[in-house]
Amino acid sequence: MRKILVTGALGQIGSELVFKLREVYGKENVVASGRRIKEGHEELIESGPFEIVNIQEEKQITDVVKKYNINTIINLAALLSAVGEKMPVRCWDVNMNGLYNILEVGRKEGCMIYNPSSIAAFGPSTPPDNTPQDTIQRPTTMYGVTKVAGELLCDYYHTKFGVDTRGVRFPGLISYQTLPGGGTTDYAVHIYYDALKNGEYTSFIGKGTQMDMMYMPDALDAIIDLMEADSDKLIHRNAFNVSAMSFAPEDLEASIKKFIPDFKLHYDVDPERQAIADTWPNSLDDSAAREEWGWDPKYDLDAMTKDMLDKLKVKLDL
Q: Which helix (H) or strand (E) segment is 172 a member of? A: strand 172-174
Residue closer to ligand AKB, measured from CB, 204 or 263:
204
Helix (H) / strand (E) containing 30: strand 30-34
* Closer by beta carbon to ligand AKB, 126 or else 185: 185
**Nearest CB to ligand AKB, comparing residues 85 and 164:** 85
Q: How far is the CB of 200 from ligand AKB (least distance, A)?
A: 23
Whole-number Å distance between alpha carbons of 81 and 73: 23
Active-site hit among 114, 143, 157, 192: 143
Quick one: 103 or 214, whose CB is closer to ligand AKB?
Answer: 214
At 9, the amino acid letter reads A
Minimum distance, C-beta of residue 230 to ligand AKB, in the bound complex (Å): 27
| The 3-state secondary structure of 212-267, one letter per residue | EEEEHHHHHHHHHHHHCCCHHHCCCCCCEECCCEEECHHHHHHHHHCCCCCCEEEE
Distance of CA 11 to the CA centre of its chain: 10
Nearest distance from C-beta of residue 149 to ligand AKB, angstroms: 15
Side by side, the strands of the sheet bearing 50-52 are: 50-52, 30-34, 4-7, 72-75, 112-114, 165-166
Of 239, 285, 281, give the one whose Cα is nearest residue 116: 239
Nearest-approach distance from CB 162 to ligand AKB, in angstroms: 28
Question: How many other CB atoms are found less than 10 A from the CB of residue 313?
Answer: 12
- Identity of the residue, 106 or 281, whose beta carbon is nearer to ligand AKB in the bound complex: 281
Q: Least distance from C-beta 93 to ligand AKB, angstroms? A: 17
Residue nearest to ligand AKB (CB): 183
> What is the separation of C-alpha 69 from the centre of its chain, rounded to a whole number of angstroms?
26
Q: Is 143 a catalytic residue?
A: yes
- Contacts with ligand AKB by CB under 6 A lie at 80-81, 118-120, 143, 170-172, 183-185
Among all residues, which ones are annotated catalytic? 143
